[in-house]
């Protein structure tokens, strides 16, 4: 016969021993988290990000491996830094990694995350918006039909640069590329011209778009500690509301004008309004406004930033600059404008663009993905809701993939390596991402980047500002969601 007291004591002892066993033995799930640096209490690894997170995380990955875990305040973050692991995330488990980690700045700005092609999870609304973009804007047929509009804007770039060359004026190449990108986009979307070269409005627009990138991409304490959202310690949420608000105001005006005066241009906005008028529930005016904002922001400074980096590298490497120029002039002819259909005939120009994407990918971490469930990668568990950063900048500078990693050598993409492409199949070069969230604007970006570069290099010689040598050109970067030149590139065009 056993007393109740004895039974109770036995139960208590068993429970204590059980709790000790559980708490002392490593949690099998935690044990399989990817390796990473020591996580400090509360802040985790925030201090390790530094002002250039793509560089600091690439350095850490060399120590901890191509699947690395960090804690940014309360956010578990997994950093992917090799082509093999990027392929697992973006191809093998594409759907499981297809959601987005929403920055607090995006939801603060008119709840952009609820309507946005960039931030929605892969759901019916996202599929609908992607389909509309593909059918109405980015299909080869649509792009061919709108190329006359872009030809006109490139001619304006050429006239503007010629004007500077005749008067010996110094040109801000990033600003000229941004104005052109903006006008190429607005021509394709609205059939109107958005900005004037060298104008305050163009500069202001550049600052607003960069403001959005900065608010969305810079490290933000309100993301790491959601309790701080209402305090907004760095003022990023407030800035986001201002920058997004300015853009929404512009698109409101365009949409209203289009609604009042229907017919005529048959551009993207006309097509969107048609869809809206046929079935309001299918696409609301609010959806259209958010979509236009996405396309403008995602398409303008990525494209112009790439052209600015390409010109920077070419000015640092005059022999490569003259090689591009000779190719264009030999194959297309002197004083002829390169057409979109000419691009396949210009292999060196294409190699220059690839090399620029390798060294300066516009979005070094892509747009942050998020795991929809626990997923195994390389034997580790990426936990549900973890933020996943694919560090394409790190793959571009990985010495086990590329020789002379820091040198600008477009030739590496010629002679047998010309098959390596950036359309999401070769994971060592994925500046546009891969899989279902690959950049939908790739076909337009491809045309815009090659043609802007061909216009700048094929028609003009370039001199550095007096007293500057090629190696003196400032290469510093500024980090937002995109990676821009910190100091604008300025040079003097010379008529050939």
Q: How far is CA 215 from the centre of its chain?
A: 14
Shortest separation between residue 301's beta carbon and ligand HEM, angstroms: 9
Is there binding between residue 348 and ligand HEM (CB under 6 A)? no
Q: Decide whether 247 or 445 has the Cβ nearer to ligand HEM.
A: 445
**Contacts to ligand HEM from residues 357-396, by CB under 6 A:** 362-363, 366-367
Other Cβ atoms less than 10 A from the Cβ of 315: the count is: 19
**Contacts to ligand HEM from residues 7-46, by CB under 6 A:** none
Q: Token pair for residue 458?
A: 């094929």
Shortest separation between residue 321's beta carbon and ligand HEM, angstroms: 20
Q: 306, 312, 387, 391: which one contacts ligand HEM (CB under 6 A)?
A: 306
Q: 320, 437, 447, 450: which one contacts ligand HEM (CB under 6 A)?
A: 437
Q: Do 281 and 372 touch, CB atoms closer than 8 A?
A: no
The region of 7-15, 73-81, 220-228, 293-301 touching ligand HEM under the rule CB under 6 A is 293-301
What gap in Å lies between CA 385 and CA 389, rounded to an integer? 13
Helix (H) or strand (E) holding 244: helix 236-260
# of chain residues touching ligand HEM (CB under 6 A): 25
Binding mask 438-457 for ligand HEM (x = CB under 6 A): xxxx--xx---x--------
Shortest separation between residue 10's beta carbon and ligand HEM, angstroms: 57
CA 290-295-299 angle, 5° bins: 150
Is there binding between residue 433 and ligand HEM (CB under 6 A)? yes
**Contacts to ligand HEM from residues 49-108, by CB under 6 A:** none
Count of all residues that appear for the chain in the document:
496
Q: Decide whether 119 or 408 has the Cβ nearer to ligand HEM.
A: 119
What gap in Å lies between CA 447 and CA 187, rounded to an integer? 14
397 by Cβ neighbours in 10 Å (0-12 / 13-18 / 19+) ranks as: middle
Binding mask 119-158 for ligand HEM (x = CB under 6 A): ----------------------------------------
The region of 13-21, 216-224, 292-300, 486-494 touching ligand HEM under the rule CB under 6 A is 292-300
Which phi and psi (to 5°) does residue 348 adopt? -70, -40
CA distances from 198 to 180, 246, 311 (A): 11, 20, 18
Q: Token pair for residue 48?
A: 């390790």
The region of 22-30, 204-212, 323-331, 428-436 touching ligand HEM under the rule CB under 6 A is 428-436
Is there binding between residue 432 and ligand HEM (CB under 6 A)? yes
**Contacts to ligand HEM from residues 147-206, by CB under 6 A:** 185
Is there binding between residue 483 and ligand HEM (CB under 6 A)? no
b/e burial code for range 181-220 (CB count within 10 A of at least 16 → b): bbbbbbbbbbbeebbebbeeebeebbebbbbbbbbbbbbb
Helix (H) or strand (E) holding 458: helix 442-459
For ligand HEM, the binding residues (CB under 6 A) are 117-118, 185, 294-295, 298-299, 302-303, 306, 362-363, 366-367, 431-433, 437-441, 444-445, 449
């Amino acid at each position: 016969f056993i007393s109740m007291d004895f039974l109770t004591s036995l139960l208590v002892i068993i429970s204590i021993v059980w709790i000790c066993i559980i708490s002392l033995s490593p949690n099998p799930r935690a044990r399989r988290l990817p390796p990473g640096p020591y996580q400090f209490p509360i802040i985790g690894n925030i201090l390790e990000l530094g002002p250039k997170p793509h560089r600091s995380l690439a350095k850490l990955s060399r120590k901890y491996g191509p699947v690395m875990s960090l804690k940014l305040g309360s956010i578990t973050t997994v950093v992917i830094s090799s082509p093999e692991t990027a392929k697992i995330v973006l191809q093998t488990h594409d759907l499981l990694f297809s959601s987005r980690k929403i920055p607090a700045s995006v939801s603060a700005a008119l709840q952009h995350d609820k309507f946005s092609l960039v931030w929605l999870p892969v759901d019916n609304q996202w599929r609908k918006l992607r389909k509309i973009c593909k059918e109405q804007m980015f299909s080869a047929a649509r792009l061919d039909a709108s190329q006359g509009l872009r030809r006109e804007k490139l001619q304006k770039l050429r006239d503007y640069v010629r004007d500077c060359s005749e008067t010996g004026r110094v040109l801000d190449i990033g600003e000229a590329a941004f104005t052109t990108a903006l006008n190429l986009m607005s021509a394709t979307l609205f059939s109107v011209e958005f900005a004037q070269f060298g104008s305050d409005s163009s500069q202001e627009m550049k600052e607003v778009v960069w403001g959005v990138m900065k608010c969305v991409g810079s490290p933000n304490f309100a993301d790491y500690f959601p309790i701080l959202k209402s305090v907004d310690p760095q003022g990023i949420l407030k800035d986001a509301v201002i920058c997004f608000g300015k853009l929404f105001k512009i698109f409101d005006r365009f949409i209203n004008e289009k609604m009042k005066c229907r017919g005529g241009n048959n551009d993207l906005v006309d097509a969107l309004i048609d869809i809206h008028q046929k079935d309001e529930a299918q696409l609301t005016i609010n959806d259209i406004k958010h979509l236009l904002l996405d396309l403008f922001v995602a398409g303008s400074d990525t494209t112009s930033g790439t052209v600015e980096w390409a010109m920077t590298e070419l000015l640092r490497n005059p022999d490569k600059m003259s090689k591009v120029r000779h190719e264009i002039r030999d194959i297309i002819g002197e004083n002829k404008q390169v057409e979109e259909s000419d691009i396949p005939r210009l292999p060196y120009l294409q190699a220059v663009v690839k090399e620029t994407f390798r060294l300066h990918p516009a979005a070094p971490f892509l747009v942050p993905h998020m795991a929809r469930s626990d997923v195994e990668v390389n034997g580790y568990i990426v936990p549900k809701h973890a933020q996943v950063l694919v560090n394409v900048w790190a793959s571009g500078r990985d010495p086990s993939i590329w020789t002379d990693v820091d040198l600008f050598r477009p030739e590496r993409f010629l002679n047998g390596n010309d098959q390596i492409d950036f359309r999401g199949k070769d994971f060592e070069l994925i500046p546009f991402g891969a899989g279902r969230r690959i950049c939908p604007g790739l076909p337009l970006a491809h045309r815009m980047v090659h043609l802007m570069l061909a216009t700048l290099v094929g028609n003009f010689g370039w001199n550095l500002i007096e007293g500057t040598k090629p190696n003196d050109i400032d290469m510093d970067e500024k980090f937002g969601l995109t990676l821009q030149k910190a100091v604008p590139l300025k040079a003097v065009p010379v008529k050939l």
